[in-house]
Structure 1
Amino acid sequence: YLSLIKLCKVKTYGIEASKESVNICKKNGLNVSEGFVQSADHKLANAPFDAFFILSFLEHLPNPNSILSGIYNNLSDNAVGLIEVPNFDMILQKNLFSEFIADHLFYFTKETLKRTITQNGFDIIESNVIWRDYIISAVVKKRKKLDISHFYKHQMKIKKDIEKYLSRFKNKKVAIWGAGHQALAIISLINLAGKIKYVVDSAIFKQGKYTPATHLAIISPETLNSNPVDAIIIMAASYSDEVVKIIRQKYNKNINIAILRDYGLEVFKR
């Protein structure tokens, strides 16, 4: 295969586990190194590559997922590949029991090959059954990794908004209303321990407990009267506007209020 690919006037590289086979390849003028892709973090010399071929070989490998992940991590962006394996559907249809041989560790149908390829970072451009239905041939492309950097940027914006709001109240008499999972995550991720007096929540089963990681007391809304604060940040998701009304009507109509929205902190005028 490498000899044929070399005819396409591209720089070719091969990897082979057998030292004897490597020597034969080199004698024939092929650029082949001894080795084996064993894991996702395996590093290949001359990487990254723009294309790769696995031709009737994936079925021999002990861990196709690790090997495909390793290949993925040695490819350039937008790299393509050709993967071919024996067609297990055809073997079943034609009762080819003689095709079950010791060195074939895996048998792929078109569907299981697709699943194996896609779960290891590749998109399938084209898939066909060829050579009298004996081979499944898949042209693949490296899928871009999901960029989640915007999560961090938004987290930093929320942190900045809240810290700016807290700076208005030097005596730290600020509370948070809301002990749901999102509020608890934000309290922890932006490190509000020591900056918030307590956390209010109307759910009785949460009261008398503490926030995870930051260890802030979770108390009942009535504490706003018995142990008042200067400001409150509401983190109650879709209930936030309703909470504003409750605070104004039942507890303190003059308290400073801010709501943590999806886009950032909304500060209410008194």
Structure 2
Amino acid sequence: MPHAAAGAPGGGGPCRLCGRGLTDVFVDLGMSPPCESYLTADRLESPEVFYPLRVWICAACLLVQLPSHIPAQDIFSDYAYFSSYSSSWVEHARAFTERSIRRLGLGRDSRVVEVASNDGYLLQHFLARGIPVLGIDPAANVARVARDRGIPTRVAFLGEAEGATVRAEFGAADLVVANNVFAHVPDVRDFGLGLAALLAEDGWLSIEVPHLMRLMERSQYDTIYHEHFSYYTLLTAQRVLASAGLAIVDVEELDSHGGSLRYWVRHAELAGEPSAAVEAVLAEERRRGLHRLDGHRGFASAVDKVKRDLVTFLATAAEEGKRVVGYGAPGKGNTLLNHCGVRADLLPYTVDRSPHKQGKFLPGTHIPILAPEVIAVDRPDYVLLLPWNLRTEITHQLAHVREWGGRFVVPIPTLAVI
């Protein structure tokens, strides 16, 4: 359960939303390196910095959060994640585009801005429909790829000042999209004000973010890493957005990233009453105790079980002479492997479709990242799916593994061999 930390009150620093000193630990995953700090071979003999992965919960506003041990500029300015390498995520973006155009009546006179637009995986679909778009992303290397696709992209972190600048230069946005970025910002209040500044008076904001309720329910502790500063229930998301004069008017439950919510948001003065879906999600959170501090208990025990099961499986496979390799090099995989103490003796390599990761090594564990084609040559007994949220897509891509009797291992929510 959340427990008071030893030492002086406020051991986790001030809450990033309400400013109260953080005294209650949600879960402690020990020490880990930044999850996207992939290593080149010449760095393997150099020291590596590990930071605490101790997650706190504010006893006042209930925001679950990780202190900003690493400046956001150091994490996101040169980023290793390119969204377009997941075909299912690109399709998710395409479907969202079509639904948004119908729902909001968007056309050639509309404006769409995406925050954390990455390599243009989503805005390309709006652009293809003739709708003016603008991306905002802090990673210059990723923004360059988007620009090469013809998608105008600003290299910047969003805050109130940047939002006002974009609005003055590009115009107010009829739709602002913020997919999987809400958890990535250390200054949630300034970020909220930036979103509000971008948004036309009668515009819509769409935010997708993993749901803390599902994270707890499904033991998804590997989604905790240093670039995820906050972990939201619908209640705490409402509180953050309200600080910027924004209100959630509708919500959709999504399967993406193990269970996410899509908030539909407007300026508070135009929001009206929230939908029945908003009330239903809040009611379920309340029923599970997540609107109280003591309702966040028990997660550490679930984390310990995931660790024990994975380590036992890998050790038993090694004793039996079975070969287990990994698929994917996502941030969540690095949290999992470092927390479990897995190294190359139990997982000799992993593979990834992104050429930006191939030839490098996972942070902390130093497990090599190879091209996916290696699996067909090596013919391992098991393939451990580190991006378990993409299991359908990956098992389809690797259907040939079954030809030699190979099987897939999914570590979360409970270890399963399929």
The answer to which structure, 1 or 2, has the higher relative contact order (CA under 8 A, 6+ apart) is 2
* Higher CA-based Rg: 1
More helix by share: 2
Superposition TM-score, scaled by structure 1 size: 0.50
Superposition TM-score, scaled by structure 2 size: 0.33
